[in-house]
Chain A
Amino acid sequence: MKILVCISVVPDTTTKITFTDANSKFNTAGVQFIVNPYDELALTKALELTEQYGGTVTVINVGTDTEPVIRKALAIGATDAIRVNAEPKDAMFVAAQIAAQAKAGGFDLVFTGRESIDYNGGMVAGLVAEMLDWPLLNVVTKIEVNGNTVLATRDIDGGKEDLECQLPCVASAQKDLCEPRIPNMRGIMGARTKPLNVVEPFAGFDFADYHLYELPPAKQGVRLIDPANAGELIDLLHNEKKVI
C-alpha cells in the first residue's frame, strides 16, 4: 500500500498569535513550528497500516521554509518526502498540488489531519477527494484496511457513523485515531539522509487572498460573584445577559 500523508507546518499550540505589516502578515518571529497535530495522527496511523500490510509512507508538504519540520515527519518514520515549493495560499491551491502528486505517484491512500490548527479550514481532504474522484472518509477515529476495502468510523453531529469504501481513497484523522509517535534517536539520525524531493507547483488556483488579520476584542474584565451567594450568577445570566 502506498500512502501519501499531507503535512501542514503550523505554529506550536502555545504560540501567542501576533501580526505584523499593518496586520497583514502573521508574525513568525520567535515562533516554533511543528507538524500539525492532526497530521501527526494521520502519519502515525499510516505507519501502523504499512507495518501491518506492507507498503510505504510518503509525506507531502506545500511550503517554502518547511524542511526542518518535514525532517521531523521523516524521523517519526515516513519513507520519503515531497515538498511542493510554494506558499500554501489557500485550501484549493494546496489540494490541487496534493491531488496532482497523488495521481502522479500512484498512491492508494491520501491521509490528512482533520484540519490544520492555523487556518482550521478542514477542506483539503474533501477537495482532494473530489479532484481525484475518490471516496472520502472525513474526520475518522478508526480506520482498518482489509484487502481493497477500508472500514472507518467518522464523527457526525452528536454521534458516530461506521462506513466502508474501496481503495484508493482519501481519509482525514481525528483525535482518538491513535497515539502520536515520538521520534527516537535512530529515527532522527536516519531522517537526515532520507529522500526529500522538491517539486515546483503547477500554476493556477489563485482563488483567495488572506489579506488582513485581527485579534479578538479584549474582554471587559471579569465580574466576580460572592461564592457564598453563587446563585446570583444564574440570575445575572438570565436577566442581564439573557443567555439562559
Chain B
Amino acid sequence: MSVIVFAEHNENIFKKSSFEAISYGKDLADKLNTNCVAVAIGCSDTNALSNLGKYGASKVLNATGNTLKVFEAAAFAKAFCEVAQSQSGNVVIISNTYNGKSLAPRVAARMNASIVSGIVAMADTTSGFSVKKSCFSNKAFTYVQMKEANKVLALVPNSYPAKESGSSVTPENVSVAVSDADIKTISKSISTVKGKVPLTEAEVVVSGGRGMKGPENWGMIEELAEWLGAATACSKPVADMDWRPHSEHVGQTGITIKPNLYMAIGISGAIQHLAGVGSSKVICVINKDPEAPFFKAADYGIVGDAFEVLPQLIERAKQLKA
C-alpha cells in the first residue's frame, strides 16, 4: 500500500498545485502509516524531480517514453497506472487542473476505484475514509465515504498548503510499456498566454464587472493586478458583452476559483457569481451601491466609485511593492 501523487509539469516546471498535492499525499500517507510516492511523466529535469522530495515525497518516479512528451489523457493514465501498480499504490492524489480532470477519471476507471473530485480538505480516516468536497458550485460542501480499497482523490488547487517538510530525493526513471497505439488524441497546437498567471492557479485575483463601464477602462484593473501579481477576471455580463474574453469569466457557469484574495470591482454579487468565487479566503468588494449583495459576502468593502478608488489602490500597491 502507498499513496501515489501525480506530479504535473509543464516543460519541466512543476505546478504549485502538484506541490500541494504531494504535501497532501504525505500527510495522508502519515495517517495511513505508509509512504508517499510522487509520479511524474516525461520530465527531463533531474533537479526539478528531486525537488519534489522537499514537499514530502519519499520516492520520486518519472515515467519515460517517446510517446509521453505531450499530455495525452489515455496514454498518461496507462503510464501512471503502471507505475502506481509497481508501487502497490491504492490511493491516488491528482490535482484538479485541466489535465488532472482528464487524467483522474481514466485512472479511476482503470483501477476500479472510488473517485471523488473537488476535494478541499484532508481525508478523515478515523471511520472508513471520508473526504470533504465542494458542491452546488461552492454554495455547500459534502462529505463522501469512499468505499473501495482503491481510491482516486482529485484535489482542488489552493485548498491545501504546499509544505516544505522533507528533503530532496534521487529520482528514478521508469520505462513504461506505452506505445503510439495508446495515444488516442493527437495534439495539433498549444497556445498559452506567456508570463500571465493562469486564473485557476492565481493566489490573488482582481475582477471587474459592469461597474467598470466599458472595456476601455480595464487598464486600471490590469495595472492593479500587475502590482499585486494577480490574475484578472470578470463577471458574466462583462464576458457576454465581449468586454473581456470568456476565459476570464468567473462564476457558476464560468471558472470556479479559490484564491487567497478576490477583489471585486463594480460587481454586484449575484448568487451565480458568488458560487464561483465565494470560497476565496479573503474577499474585497468595491461598489458604489451600498446595497450591493456582494457586501454581505465580503471581508472588506469600499462603498465608492471605482474610478476614484482604483487609482488610490494602485498607488498604494505601487508603494508597497517598491
Contacts and interface: CB of A to CB of B under 8 A. Distances in A.
B135 A118 contact: yes
A70 B84 CA distance: 41
Contacts of B317: 234, 244
Contacts of B297: 219
A208 interface: yes
Contact of A208 (B145, B187, B271): B145
Contacts of B110: 130
Interface in A186-244: 206-216, 219-220, 222-227, 229-238, 241, 243-244
Interface string B245-258: 01101001110100
Interface in B70-112: 73-74, 77, 97-99, 101-106, 108-110
A125 B102 CA distance: 8
Interface in B248-270: 249, 252-254, 256, 260-261
Interface string B281-322: 111111000000001111111111100110011011100100
A220 B187 contact: no
Given A175-B246, A230-B309, A244-B320, A92 B115 contact: yes
A223 B101 CA distance: 37
B281 to A, nearest CB: 7
A184 B91 CA distance: 49
A131 interface: yes
Contact of A227 (B229, B279, B282, B308): B308
A119 B117 CA distance: 9
A123 interface: yes
A120 B15 CA distance: 23
Contact of A165 (B139, B184, B271, B281): B184
Interface stretch (A11-19, A49-57, A75-83, A102-110): A11-19
Given A127-B108, A136-B102, A159-B192, A121 B118 contact: yes
Contacts, number: 285
Given A175-B246, A241-B261, A207 B141 contact: no
A220 B199 CA distance: 27
B117 A122 contact: yes
A67 interface: no
Interface residues of B, number: 99
A223 B140 contact: no
Q: Report whether over half of chain A's contact residues are helix, strand or loop; otherwise say mixed.
A: mixed
B147 A206 contact: yes
A126 B102 contact: yes
A215 B295 CA distance: 19
A157 B312 contact: no
A11 B302 contact: no
Contacts of A161: 187-191
Given A91-B117, A92-B109, A121-B118, 13 more contacts: A14-B272, A119-B135, A136-B73, A159-B190, A159-B191, A161-B189, A162-B190, A163-B188, A175-B254, A213-B141, A225-B301, A243-B281, A244-B228
Interface of A: 11, 13-17, 19, 26, 37-38, 90-92, 95, 117-127, 129-131, 134-139, 141, 151, 154-165, 169, 175-176, 206-216, 219-220, 222-227, 229-238, 241, 243-244
Interface of B: 10, 15, 73-74, 77, 97-99, 101-106, 108-110, 113-118, 130, 134-148, 154, 184-193, 196-201, 203-204, 228-229, 246-247, 249, 252-254, 256, 260-261, 271-272, 275, 278-279, 281-286, 295-305, 308-309, 312-313, 315-317, 320
